[in-house]
Amino acid sequence: MEARARAGGKVEGVDPPALAAAAARRRTGGTVHAGLLEDLQRPQAAYDAITFFDALRTVPDPMRFLLAARRLLRPGGMLVLREVHRKVEMGRERWRALRHAQVQPSCRAFEYRQVFSPRRLRFALGRAGLTQAWVEPSPIFSEPDAKDSLAGSLLKRSLGAVSASAYALSRHRLVLGPNLLAFGKAPAA
């Protein structure tokens, strides 16, 4: 949203916490509503594109969210989701169980999440009335962070290359990456 605003585009957003919505307004100069997309009172077909990154798994009713997004898209508009691949998320859970990692009691409110596979994302997008739905591997961010080393960055780049190659060689059927990009287009009028 911030990048699009800097490029001169008109942006509008939604963020559940009022504090986060206010911060986004300051950063983008755009209209940012406090609340949920599903509860947003906007005219039907109000947007050319809706993006939603790394949060569908936390939405209490993903289908309600997708239906609301579809209602808000103009004919030919695009919904773009980025979400963690189900197999990766389930692997993390198994790893935590093996290490006997316990969630701190103060974090229990954040335990709720759902997981998605490429097939289930395509199915949900179709059920919401979005056509030309597809899922592909999301690019892997390979810049080192504070706790990451150059070796970690190279490992991420390698994983990204393997994921992109498998996707291309399988004629867009095999999605191996840790994150998914899902696209759904609103039907033309």
Name 80's bridge partners. Answer: 51, 183
For 158, the enclosing helix (H) or strand (E) is helix 150-169
Q: Which of 80, 40, 91, 61 is nearest to 186 (CA)?
A: 80
Question: pTM score > 0.75 for this model?
Answer: yes
For 39-84, the pLDDT digits (tens) are 999 999 999 999 998 888 888 899 999 999 999 999 999 999 988 8
Q: From CA 120, how far away is CA 32, in angstroms rounded?
A: 30
Taken in order 27, 29, 34, 35, is the CA torsion positive or negative?
negative
* Higher pLDDT pick, 64 / 174: 64
Cβ 137 vs Cβ 121: under 8 Å: no
Using the structure block, give the residue that is written with the tokens 């103060």.
106
For 120-168, the pLDDT digits (tens) are 899 999 999 998 898 888 876 655 555 667 777 777 778 778 878 877 8
For residue 44, give the DSSP letter. Answer: T
Report the b/e string of 154-181 with b at 16+ CB within 10 A. Answer: eebeebbeebbeebeeeeeeebbbbbbb
Q: From CA 76, how far away is CA 131, in angstroms rounded?
A: 9
For 143, the enclosing helix (H) or strand (E) is none
